Amino acid sequence: MSASPTAQTQAIGELYVAHSDWLSRFIQRRVGCPHTTADLIQDTYLRLLTSGRLPEQQDARRFLTHVSKGLVIDLYRRKRIEDAYLVYLKNQPEYLAPSLEEHLQMIQALTEIDTMLHRMPEKVRQTLLLRQFEGLSYKDIAERLGVSISSVEKYMVKALQACLMLYRTYN
């Protein structure tokens, strides 16, 4: 459904009035924290507002469910990454501790890298990880994945293109 900005804002307001209590209960059951629930509700409607797409009335709950589930998944991914980073920092000398700003930047960067990796097709992601973290040759990767060396080369190009795009967002 497409509408003028004023009509769209009004439609989102109506959607909010009609579904916010239900959406609140839906999200609260998944995250357990009323403050986080409120943030995710706000983010859900913000996504609707910025996307310019509104669901038809009969599809509203399904659409809100889809958007909010994605936000909950993002929240848990970010939490998992932040927890792992905190464990890493605990094992470092205190003088290497990052400032709060550096800490937040690192969490943001790690979250974006994780998102990039999860968006890659499985074999592209595996190729990148096997090459970069296990140091396998293209021949060894091809054997492990059961594909040709030329496929590994193509996967690596796709993976490096994704990395380059992410790099460009920071520079």
Better-scored residue on pLDDT, 94 or 8: 94
**Per-residue pLDDT at 5:** 64
pLDDT in tens, 119-162: 999 999 999 999 999 999 999 999 999 999 999 999 999 999 99
What is d(CA 79, CA 98) in angstroms, rounded to the nearest whole number? 18
Kindly report the number of other CB atoms within 10 A of residue 86's CB atom: 11
Which DSSP category does 59 fall into? G
Length of the chain: 171
What is d(CA 14, CA 51) in angstroms, rounded to the nearest whole number? 17
What is d(CA 74, CA 56) in angstroms, rounded to the nearest whole number? 25
Q: Tell whether the model's pLDDT for residue 2 goes beyond 70.
A: no
For the chain, the average pLDDT equals: 90
**Per-residue pLDDT at 8:** 78
pLDDT in tens, 23-46: 999 999 999 999 999 999 999 999
Distances from the Cα of 170 to the Cαs of 73, 83, 97, 105, 156, in angstroms?
A: 24, 23, 22, 11, 21
What is d(CA 81, CA 110) in angstroms, rounded to the nearest whole number? 7
**Per-residue pLDDT at 155:** 97
**Per-residue pLDDT at 4:** 62
Kindly report the number of other CB atoms within 10 A of residue 26's CB atom: 20
What is d(CA 86, CA 97) in angstroms, rounded to the nearest whole number? 10
